[in-house]
Structures are given as structure tokens and as C-alpha cells.
Structure 1
Amino acid sequence: MRYVIVNALNGKALKFHDKLTTEVCSKFNLKRTKLPGHITLKAPFESENIDELINMLESLVKTNNKAPISVHGYDHFRNDVVFMKTIFSKEANGVYNEFYKLLKTLSWLQWKKNEDSQRIFHTTIVSKKIKNKFNEIWEYINEFQCNFHIYFDNISIYIWEENTWRLYKKFLLKDNNETIY
């Protein structure tokens, strides 16, 4: 089975991302991603059994608090991925680094070269087959202000079923009841 692990967006940031992604895909005749707004923590991977992974994540969220993330402006990878810039706080990086170290102990879990502890976090708006429309898309999205303060407050596993991503399990990080934003 195919899985992906993300921090699922919520609230105003999710609504903004959903609306902007829908508008861009409609305006430029692009195919929309099947995952809701998110920050990828572990790119898609194959496994027949993720019980050990689930146990690790259950332990991880019991010992870590939600942590601030800033979503501000836009950026791109080459001319084929356009995204909302996503900046992890020191605390959010700490949670991610612990997540990364835990998952690296799973010998069966495959990693891509861009999936290291220094990864560039981002929230994709569009990718795939946009090179010919990149400049127009870039100009269009920059008409909209993107500035959100959110939290790394969940680790969500999605599973690929029936030609779409479905939420498999969501783990909530501890809420220390501090409002940072």
C-alpha cells in the first residue's frame, strides 16, 4: 500500500490554500493535487505493514508540543513547482528532527535525496506540467497576499485508495495551551 505523511493545514491557511489552488487550476487548466493543503513530512512510500511506524508516531506526539510555523509569501522549485513559503520555528524544527530520526530507524522505509533533516518545507499550490505556464502562474499568485501563523500540530498519514488520498490516521501533538500567535 502507498502512504504519505504530512502536517495537514487547517483553519484560514487551509481555506486560503484550497481557494487559491482551485482558482489556479481552473484558470490555467491544471490538474489539482488529490491531497488537501499540507506540509509534506515524508514523501509517498510503499509498505504492507505500518504498525511499527504508528507506534513510533503515537509515542512522538505524547512527548512533543505543537510548535509555530509561519507561512509567508511564495516561492518555487525550478519552474515546475509553485508553493507557499513555509518556515518552521526552532521548536517545529525540533519536532521534525525527532520525527526524522525516528523514521530513519525503519530499515524498510525508503528516502529520496531531498528528504533530509535540512529539507525545504513548503505547501505546494501546483506542480506537474506547469513549465509552459510558469510565468503566468507566478504573476497570478503574487497578486494575493499570503501570510499565516499556524502550528505544526498534527502528523497525518494518508493512504492511496481508489485513485485518491484518504486520511488513514491523524496524530495530534500536545497542546501546551500557549497561544504564540
Structure 2
Amino acid sequence: MLTKNEKTPIYFNAEIVDDSSTSLTGDEYDSQLLQQAIASTDSSITIFRGIAQGAVLAGFQLVSTQSLYLAGCVGLFPAVVAGLPVGASVAATLCYLRFENSLIPKITNRQKLAIGVTRTAILAASSYKLTGDAQQMDSIARGSFQVFTQQVREFEGIEQPSQNHFGFLLGFWVCAALALFLFLRKKR
């Protein structure tokens, strides 16, 4: 480490060591570069990569939410767990956009942006299906609970409570009191 008073340069010696057991000829190296260039520009490969990533992540999403349902978790928590991968995928996809002093973003890597958009679309569809299933399970559970309580009431001979018009009467009396208040205030 040099301090401010020392002006002596430091020289480092380095060697390049190639530990790879295979050596490529010029033609093989050119062939590999050509294959990489084709893979990076071919849109069908990009779409298949996005579909594959989305399918794998949707599988993890499905397994995690279904295991939460089996553990007895219901309500908002499994829906949030189903939505987290979608949010993470959107955030990762937005990393390939750059806003440089304009409202229109510049794309830094088209291939990775396309993969991210495909992956996000698959995860969003999976999340929509999982939350829809959760809402259906919730409505079935609520309906079955009402049927069960009604069957218990019938079995035990408990009568249904009489229907009253409490809300209507309360609204009527509030309006009457407000009208009386305004009438008495105007007389002053």
C-alpha cells in the first residue's frame, strides 16, 4: 500500500493459465460463436425459454399454494403467496428497461425482456387461476356452513328468527329527527 509520500510504482507479474482439457480449433470456435449468435437472435428459442421458465415457476407457485391449503391456511395468505412470483417477475422484467432522460424507455436486452414478459404472463395466468379457485373454495365453504347450521336448527327444532324491519325503521326515525331539527332551527 502506498502512502501519499511514496512515489515508487509497484509492478505485478501474472501468467495466463488454461486448465481446460479441450482445445478448440479456429473452425470449432467459429461454429460455437455462430450457434450462440443464432440462439440469441432466434425468437422461437426465446419464447420457448420464457415458456419453460414460466412453467417451472408456475409449478412452484402451484405447489406452494396447494401445500398452504393442505396445511389449513385459507383467505388472503395463499393469494399473496400466489401473487409474489408475479410481482418478482415484473420487477425482474423491468430491469431490462432504462429511462435515460425521457419517458420512453430503452430496451437493454431484447431477448431477456421477451423471456421476462412471457414468464410474467404465464405466472399471472397461474395466479389468476389459483386466486379464482380460492374464491370458489371460500364460497363453497360459506354455503356449506349455512346449510349445516340450518340442518342443525331443523334437527334441534330451533325456529328461525322473525324478520323485522329494523333498518327501515331506523332510517325513517333518523330522517324524521333530521327534519324536526331543521324545522325547529328554522323557527328561531
Query: Does TM-score exceed 0.5, indicating one fold?
Result: no
Higher percent of residues as helix: 2
What TM-score do the two structures reach when normalised by structure 2? Answer: 0.21
Higher percent of residues as strand: 1
What TM-score do the two structures reach when normalised by structure 1? Answer: 0.21
